[in-house]
Amino acid sequence: MKTWFDTARLGMFVHWGHSSVRGCELSWSLVGGVSSLPYCGNVPVDEYHSTANSFNPQDYNPLEWARLAKRMGVQYAILTAKHHDGFAMFHTQQSDFSIQHSHYKKDIVREFIEAMRSEGIRIGLYFSLIDWHHPDYPAFTEADKPYTFGQWRQPTDSQWQRFIHFMFDQVRELLTNYGKIDLLWFDGAWERTPEQWQATVLHDTIRSLQPEILINDRLPPLGDFSTPEQLIPPQPLQGVWETCMTINDSWGYNCGDTNFKSARQLIHTLCEVAGKGGNLLLNISPMGNGQIQPELLERLVVVENWMARNSESIIGTMPALEPWQFYGPSTRKRDRIYLHLLMKPYETVSVRGVPIKRVKSVSVLADGTRLQYTTRCAIVDTLFSHPDPLGELTIQVPESAIDSYATVIAVDFIPQLNTDLSASNRT
């Protein structure tokens, strides 16, 4: 089934919780860290939870985030409604461990949804199945450190029954109190079995409440799309996929982590992901006061400006050429292909195995500047006047055409019914 998500290409992930007050990694610092989060640190469990009450992000302005997202071309935004630390960023009747009982009091999830919706951005909610705070989960304690995969303290049967009830009720609240939710992003299923999670029943419940919702693949065995993390898959994945990625090496606001990717790296990642037919879910980590830290904003503004010139080559596109046809990611919309130049060309770039007689024009996407090009094909094709030969297109790329982040060249073809510009799909 085709959905809006298939070609959305850019989403915004927001990892936020009361841990942002301390500036330590969200949830993972309370269990003492994990090797894939090099700046995580180890915060004593009680100390970690102690900022739940004082959390009071007075500068939280989700409309600003929504406007920034909109300007960046973001199609959907996902907020951590509840992360592994169990703190609900929404009003819940199921426990007191929520934003309702903090200094801030207002429903952060509601404010986020309303702001994003007002800018026409689709809504996703992240929900952690793990709950390191709930007594029936059971809660993670200092004695459980170090966090060891496979060695999770298990609940008794009656504890688990109560927990499942609680968890289902929170999911129900999220799916009934806020209107249409476009996407539900589960996480943390690894600590229990699909049977323990009652995965199939949970899926059915979700679909009965929100028939059009998309659900990620982190509540096995079901899922509408796959979710590689922190990397671009070497080969395009089967089916619909989305890779989530942080700008530094932490998910939540972590003042000790300054290992930021450059804006150029983020733009290149976006081009590569789109060229492989996936979506990039780019993470931001608001600080304890509700502001986005300057180092992130700086980069997002560069992405925004680049997208103002080039989003046509990303949003709503399909992958175009095979890797052997062009040295870089390429995307397409109808009879136009977009070549993403992630390295500076030496005078020219070449595209191979394309219908050269139908090349109509070649231009720089950002400003429409026409580029000179030549084409050639095998002599036999010329001699026998092949009506639609495949050949090589060589494009002149002057210094003046080069964008310092990533240059996008648009190649327009004269349309023909049922054409496919990727050579391997031609018969």
The CB-of-169 to ligand GLC minimum distance in angstroms stands at 22
Task: Report the nearest approach of ligand GLC to the CB of residue 392 (Å).
Answer: 42
Give the residue, chosen from 127, 163, 251, 253, that forms a contact with ligand GLC under the rule CB under 6 A.
Answer: 251
Separation between Cα atoms, residue 65 and residue 419, nearest integer Å: 40
Q: Report the first-to-last Cα separation within the chain, whole angstroms.
A: 26
Cis amide bond preceding 221, omega within 30: yes
Is the Cβ–Cβ distance between 23 and 256 less than 8 Å?
A: yes
Smallest distance, ligand GLC to C-beta of residue 273, A: 15
Q: Is 334 left (phi over 0), alpha (psi -120 to 50) or beta?
A: left
Total residue count of the chain as it appears in this document: 427
By C-beta, is 9 or 15 nearer to ligand GLC? 15
Distance CA 295, CA 258 (A): 9
Say whether residue 163 binds ligand GLC (CB under 6 A). no
Query: In terms of CB distance, is 19 or 100 closer to ligand GLC?
Result: 19
Q: Closer to ligand GLC at the Cβ: 187 or 257?
A: 187
Give the span between the Cα atoms of 26 and 285, in whole angstroms.
9
Kindly provide the residue ranges of all beta strands, DSSP E only, lying in 33-107, ordered along the sequence. 76-82
Q: Which of residues 223-242 bind ligand GLC (CB under 6 A)?
A: 229
User: Could you give the strand order of the β-sheet that contains 330-333, starting from the edge strand earlier in sequence?
Assistant: 318-319, 330-333, 336-341, 407-413, 359-364
Residues 290-349 close enough to bind ligand GLC by CB under 6 A: none
| For ligand GLC, the closer CB: 106 or 153 | 153
Tell me: does residue 244 bind ligand GLC (CB under 6 A).
yes
**Cβ proximity to ligand GLC, 80 vs 407, nearer residue:** 80
CB of 233 to ligand GLC, least distance (A): 14
What's the closest the beta carbon of residue 262 comes to ligand GLC, in angstroms?
22
Phi (first) and psi of residue 352, to 5 degrees: -115, 150
| Minimum CB distance to ligand GLC, residue 229 (Å) | 5
Query: What's the CA gap between 146 and 152, in Å, rounded?
Result: 11
Residue 49 is encoded by which pair of tokens?
């939870």
* Rounded-to-integer distance, Cα 297 and Cα 303, Å: 10
| # chain residues binding ligand GLC, by CB under 6 A | 7
From residue 173 to residue 212, the character string flagging contacts with ligand GLC as x (rule: CB under 6 A) and all else as - is --------------x-------------------------
CB of 20 closer than 8 Å to CB of 287: yes
Which residue has tokens 């639609």?
Answer: 388
Min dist. Cβ of residue 28 to ligand GLC (A): 6
Nearer Cβ to ligand GLC, position 254 or 331? 254
Which residues of the chain form contacts with ligand GLC (CB under 6 A)? Answer: 15, 27-28, 187, 229, 244, 251
